[in-house]
Structure 1
Amino acid sequence: MRQRRHPRAERTRRTSRARWALGLLLALLLTAMTTAVQPLNATANDPANDPGSSFYIRASGNEFLAYSRIIRLQHSGAANGTLIGTFEHASKDGTASDFVIRTSKDDGRTWKTLTTLNDPLKGENHPSDQFWQPFLFELPEKMGEFPAGTLLLTGNIAPSEKVRTDFVLWRSTDHGAHWTFQSILQTGGGSVGAPHGGSGIWEPFLTVDGAGRLAMYFSDERREPEYAQIIAHMVSNDGGVTWSARPAVPGGLSTGAWYHLTVKAVGCTLTVTGRPSGSPAKPVGFAYQDPDCSFTRGAIGVRDQAGTASWRHLTVTRSG
């Protein structure tokens, strides 16, 4: 005869097993969470856990330092991983300043100066006491005659007299040890006499656009009083030796303007027309024809010409 278990004892055993299973599950979850938040190959000696030394220390109170730029080489062969950096640098007493080029080969634990770049411009208010808004860029691939790994540095030489701003471009082919002055890329006014407090050019940024060209974007106050400031850009097809004054846009569309776009697909021809926002002007645009009428399904992608904005897709299907 099978012995009958007491219901309370059975519930106690079930509760005990459930608590044990819950405890094991929580232990496993905590272990998984602890494992998940651990950095890969983390050790006490990782550079991220080491405060390191200062990027740069002023030699005297006469030096003014502001925002810095640091890149890690990625297209330079054996030099990959090296940090190259510089920063805004000015002299408070009006004497000549420079860009200081610094480097680290141990992930920022220690830094040393590679070289300094002096003002290559001549004339009134030069050499400048203010070197502003540097931007470092490593070519990711061969552009023109320059191989991948070539370094570019552009910066704004803006004397404290506030009457002129110049974007200057330097180039290095030995990982920042030596630099060659390339050219003046753009020239603007300063902050004297403009309706909104400035007619200068500011903050140059270098990148590769969607067409594979070297591109520079910057803030431009030279169209005052129509605009207080616009985001302008220019492009180069030869690695920065020559530059467009302003990239052409097909069909009469202008840069720096918002448009209401109309996209039509008629047969095998795509037509894009645009009218400036809020303007009664006649629409302008351009057309693309698929000569073989080969597409049966697809998408029209619309974005800015430089290729930096997100695509806006319109579905296209062939009918008839």
Structure 2
Amino acid sequence: MGKGMAGRGKWFTYRHALDCLLVLTCPLAVATYLWLQLEDLTGGNFEDSAPRFAALAPLLKETSLFPTENLERAGCHLNASTPPLMIVDNFFATADAEEIREKIMSSWAQGVDNFQLYDDGWYVSKRSSGGYVAASGPSHQVTESQDLVHRPVSLQARFSDLVGDAVEAGTSWDEAGDRWNGALHVKVKQSSSTAIHSHFHEDDVDCGWVGLVYLTHHAPAGLGTSFWMEARSKVAVKPRGRFFYDSAEGFQKLLVIEPVFNRLVLHRADLLHSGSPGLGAQMSEEPRLFATYFFNVKSHR
């Protein structure tokens, strides 16, 4: 627990309990867990994060939205006490986050050839797509910032603490950028891949988590991440099998998370989500920068 928590924990618990009563939403146990998790990871500096954490409570208390039957049927038994969706502000040290952003923007300014084209208007660090990365020059700056993003040992431990399960090394946690784990992205417009989708399928992250860290300053609130529920089934997850859906028909938007700089959005890999605001939308003038993480965990049996 964060330093000094013993003397402040009761006050914060009461404070969040009051927040919950005001919005008539969350059970105290869930709220306290989320609050203490955030204190651990931000050194107690969570005044900006608290309202957004409280905003998740109406969803998190509706456990029927996030069934685990399909995961369990596939042999995946995640920690039952871990919320399926978490927000952590100030994820990287501020200096690291700024350095990562500056190096990406410097490389981007020197040409798109320093990146790998993934889709129309969407570029990713070359090592993430199996592309060649030079030993020096602009593309190497991307590699250096990617090393900052990845940091295998420390981030494995940090993600393990967050999700309550040990990250499974050697399968989904490989070298920086492999399988988009610790990959850096530059997005200049919404592309055809911006669809409602899930990462829970047989050849990808099938027992684990997906994380995204926003790295754009002052991005429009509408360019964050949306989470969805299938209207017919009333669930926010998708069964096993690759799933992309290019229309919002038949789905209900549950939540839009704003793209605050240096914010981590971490969620179960089977949650239905999309980039906001959706297909065909205009992006802001400044490119949208973000880092992604995909990892499996050693599930409970």
Greater RCO, CA 8 A, separation 6+: 2
TM-score normalised by length of structure 2 = 0.21
TM-score normalised by length of structure 1 = 0.20
Structure (1 or 2) with the larger CA radius of gyration:
1
Q: Which has the higher helix share?
A: 2
